[in-house]
Structures are given as C-alpha cells and as structure tokens.
C-alpha cells in the first residue's frame, strides 16, 4: 500500500516511536491522527505538524474513548487505512521478593495496556478499514503492532512486560488469518533497546551500558529506524502475519 493519500491512526503517537512514525508517514504523503493520553504533548505536536495531523485524546484500554478517536479520524480525514500501535507501559518487578509477591494489580495493568489496549484499538480500526475500497492488490488496510525483544528474552523483573508483549506476538498470525478475507494485513515489530523518552530518564552511564550490549551497531536504536520499518511494512504487500525483531542482533541477558 502506498502511504501517499492514506490516513493513519497512531497510538502513543505524541512521543518516542509513535511520534517518529507519525513524522515518517506524513513525510511520505499520508495523514495521521495522533492518539495519546490527554496529558500528553499530542495537541502541541499535531499543531506543529500542520493540517495533515490531528490529535485525539484517548486511553487505549477505554472502548468508548477509542471508538470516539476512530470516529474523529473518519470525520476529519475520511477513512483509516493504517493503524500503528505504539502505546505501552512497563513495570520492573520480580514475581516475589522480600516484600512479598508482585501485586496482581500491577501485572494486570501492564497486560491491560500493552495487550488488551493494542487489541482494542486494532479491532476497531480493522472494522473501519473493511469499509475502504480495496486497492489493486485487494488491500483495504495495514496494522502494525509494537512488541519487544522481551517477548522472547525477558529479563529478571519483566514477567508482566514479557507476558504482555508475548501476547502481542502470539496474536499476530491468527489476526492476519482473521483479516485476510477482507484485505487487511498485520505485522508486529519487536524493538530492542531504543532511545525513547523512557530511556532518557536513565543516567548516561546506564544508557551507555545498555548500548554496549548490542552487537552491531553498538548503540541504542533510533525512533526513525522503527518508523522506517513501519513504513516498509505498509508498503510491502507480502509482509503479513510476521513479527520482525529490530534489535541489532541483541539477545537480552537475564539482567
């Protein structure tokens, strides 16, 4: 699917991987609805980008808010052709420790946002995509989800995060099969260690230590590199039902 002339709904679109993806899609001639939390910089970011971008405040776990964001996108831009899901969270905590078991509500919260929130958005976007006129390849839409290398090599304290991202990976193929008959593709990107606002909170020695673990290139990933892959997935009609590691050959150690 050519990006030019398409409309994307990008969650977590106000910062980090999501913001880089919004910029990439606009640069390729698309339009984008930035979906993020009300307290995010989404409104200011959309204003900076101009008429081809807009902001919809929504919690990805809230069905009514995502329904409203989808409708706002259609009302403003006419359709949804692309859905990129970057909204997510993490919680580093061992299964049990001297303080006792990991609180169940923390585990549930990470699953709710990363896994259920992702499915909530994509199911609603896919339903809207079925209304599109198919292109010459029969495509009506493309969905790109965000997992993590933690889905495969989860570290100490990552039980909740790894479970949530593993769920995103596991549902990719069955959703691709679900949506094949209506001409919608879906892929998942599993990034390694990327230079995002979350990592920016770490002191520089800690950031350098993380970068040193990556075989090549020995540096943190850059959000535009994630965005470039998301765009390629959209543009390459044979990419479907696949999870792609984007990690510089990183395999995470236990800690």
Residue 71 tokens read as 């409708």
**Separation CA 46–CA 179 (nearest Å):** 30
Residue 131 tokens read as 């209304």
Residue 194 tokens read as 């990327």
- State how beta strands 184-191 and 82-85 pair: unpaired
**Separation CA 131–CA 249 (nearest Å):** 40
- Residues near 39 by beta carbon (within 8 Å), at least 6 away in sequence: none
Cα 186 vs. chain centroid, distance in angstroms? 12
The active-site residue out of 45, 107, 161, 226 is 161
Q: Are 80 and 70 in contact (CB under 8 A)?
A: yes
**Separation CA 54–CA 44 (nearest Å):** 10
Residue 47 tokens read as 């204003």
Residue 29 tokens read as 């001639």
- Residues near 78 by beta carbon (within 8 Å), at least 6 away in sequence: 7
- At 128, phi and psi to the nearest 5? -65, -40
Query: How many CA atoms lie less than 13 Å away from 21 in the CB half-sphere?
Result: 35
Residue 113 tokens read as 């946002």
- pLDDT grade for 62, boundaries at 50, 70 and 90: very high
Of 14-18, 78-82, 193-197, the one with minimum mean pLDDT is 193-197
Q: Rounded mean pLDDT of the chain? A: 95
What pLDDT shows up at residue 223? 97
Q: Which of 6, 57, 53, 56 is CA-nearest to residue 28?
A: 6
What pLDDT shows up at residue 200? 74
What pLDDT shows up at residue 255? 82
Checking if the pLDDT of 201 tops 90, the result is no
**pTM for the full model?**
0.95
Residues of the chain with pLDDT > 70, as a percent, come to 99
What pLDDT shows up at residue 210? 81
Task: Express each pLDDT in 207-247 by its tens digit.
Answer: 788 888 999 999 999 999 999 999 999 999 999 999 999 99
Q: Which of 74, 14, 20 is CA-nearest to residue 45?
A: 14
- State how beta strands 82-85 and 141-146 pair: parallel
* Rounded mean pLDDT, 141-162: 96
Domains assigned to the chain: 7-195+222-245 (3.40.50.720)
Question: Does the annotation mark 223 as catalytic?
Answer: no
């Amino acid at each position: 699917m050519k990006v030019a002339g398409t409309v994307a709904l990008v969650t977590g679109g106000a910062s980090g991987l999501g913001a880089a993806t919004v910029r990439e899609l606009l640069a390729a001639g698309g339009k984008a609805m930035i979906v993020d939390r009300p307290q995010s910089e989404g409104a200011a970011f959309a204003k900076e980008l101009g008429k081809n971008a807009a902001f919809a405040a929504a919690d990805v776990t809230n069905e009514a808010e995502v329904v409203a964001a989808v409708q706002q996108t259609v009302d403003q831009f006419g359709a949804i052709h692309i859905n990129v899901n970057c909204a997510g969270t993490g919680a580093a905590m061992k299964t049990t420790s001297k303080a006792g078991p990991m609180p169940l509500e923390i585990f549930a919260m990470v699953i709710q946002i990363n896994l259920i929130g992702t499915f909530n958005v994509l199911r609603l976007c896919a339903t809207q995509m079925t209304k599109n006129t198919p292109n010459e390849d029969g495509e009506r839409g493309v969905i790109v989800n965000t997992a993590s290398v933690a889905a495969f090599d989860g570290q100490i304290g990552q039980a909740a995060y790894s479970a949530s991202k593993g769920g995103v990976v596991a549902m990719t193929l069955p959703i691709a099969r679900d949506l094949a008959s209506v001409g919608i593709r879906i892929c998942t990107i599993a990034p390694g260690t990327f230079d995002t606002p979350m990592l920016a909170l770490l002191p520089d020695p800690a950031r350098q230590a993380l970068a040193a673990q990556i075989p090549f290139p020995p540096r943190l990933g850059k959000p535009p590199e994630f965005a470039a892959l998301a765009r390629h997935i959209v543009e390459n009609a044979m990419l479907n039902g696949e999870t792609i590691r984007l990690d510089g050959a990183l395999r995470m150690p236990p800690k």
